[in-house]
Amino acid sequence: MIANWIINVIGIVLFLFLFWKKLKEDYSSNIIFGFSFFILLGAGLGFLASKYFFPHWFFWFEAFGAFLGFTVGIIKYNTRFFETYEALFISFMPWLALFFLTREIYISVFILGLIVLSVYLKAEYKTFLWYKSGKVGLVGLLISEAFFLSRAVVALLFPSVVSFLGLSDIVLSGVCVFTIFLLIYNLSKDD
């Protein structure tokens, strides 16, 4: 119990720092931390809802809550979607890696691999021939695409993994993959 609290405090601090670091060039600290408050509030409410009503759905309730907070932040602070989505997803990755470290270590290793991949993609994405627009946000979308695609595949092949819900996880992850694919397609169009 105490270990979970320590991991979550470290994860929140890492999230706040990385989120601020990724957006500090374009937005004031007040906007960034106000935005972060809505994201963390949404994730916290999702956690509480899952804990008391749907314990096996903790990942999806927390993710949905965080995305609702993200949506409120986008509307309230009038930020750019793709830029802030990238900052959100990349900043959440270390927290997720820490979270799964005490539960399913191979998921933590996979997430650390995604973090390394995101660093590489951030340095190289403007050189991709198929990505002519060069707009910010591609890295966050590609990493989240890989994350949800892997969730769908693992849920399909290994349905007994504790944090997966079988068919429900496959469908929800598949919807995320398809939506993110459409967002990547839209972002890659050269305007």
pLDDT score at 191: 56
What DSSP character marks residue 137? T
Which amino acid does the sequence have at 19? Answer: F
Q: What is the mean pLDDT of residues 174-191?
A: 85
Residue 149, in any domain of the structure: yes
Mean pLDDT to the nearest integer, 25-45:
95
| 187 closest CA partner among 144, 121, 122, 132 | 132
Report the pLDDT value the prediction gives residue 57, as an integer from 0 to 100.
Answer: 86
Model confidence at 86, pLDDT cuts 50, 70, 90, reads very high
pLDDT tens readout for residues 121-141: 888 777 776 666 667 788 899
Domain assignment of residue 180, yes or no:
yes
**Mean per-residue pLDDT for 100-118?**
86
Asked if residue 72 is part of any domain, the answer here is no
First to last CA, the chain: 51
**Number of folded domains that form the chain:** 1
DSSP 133: S
Whether residue 36 lies inside any domain: the answer is: no
Does residue 61 lie within any of the structural domains? no
Q: What is the mean pLDDT of residues 51-63?
A: 88
pLDDT at 2: 84
167 domain residue, yes or no: yes
The predicted pLDDT at position 156 comes to: 81
**pLDDT (0 to 100) of residue 37:** 96
Question: According to DSSP H, which parts of the chain are helical?
Answer: 2-23, 29-52, 58-77, 81-101, 105-124, 138-157, 167-188
**The pLDDT of residue 165 is above 80:** no
Q: At residue 45, does pLDDT exceed 70?
A: yes
**Mean model confidence pLDDT for the chain:** 87
Q: What is the average pLDDT across 83-98?
A: 92
Q: What is the pLDDT of residue 14?
A: 95
Structural domain that includes position 108: 2-26+80-188
State the DSSP code for 189. Answer: S
Q: How far apart are CA 189 and CA 166, in angstroms?
A: 35
Classify residue 153: in a domain, yes or no: yes
Q: With 60 as the cut, is the pLDDT of residue 89 above it?
A: yes
Dihedral through CA 122, CA 63, CA 23, CA 115, nearest 10? -30
Instruction: Return the higher-pLDDT residue of 39 and 155.
Output: 39
Query: Is 172 within the bounds of a domain?
Result: yes
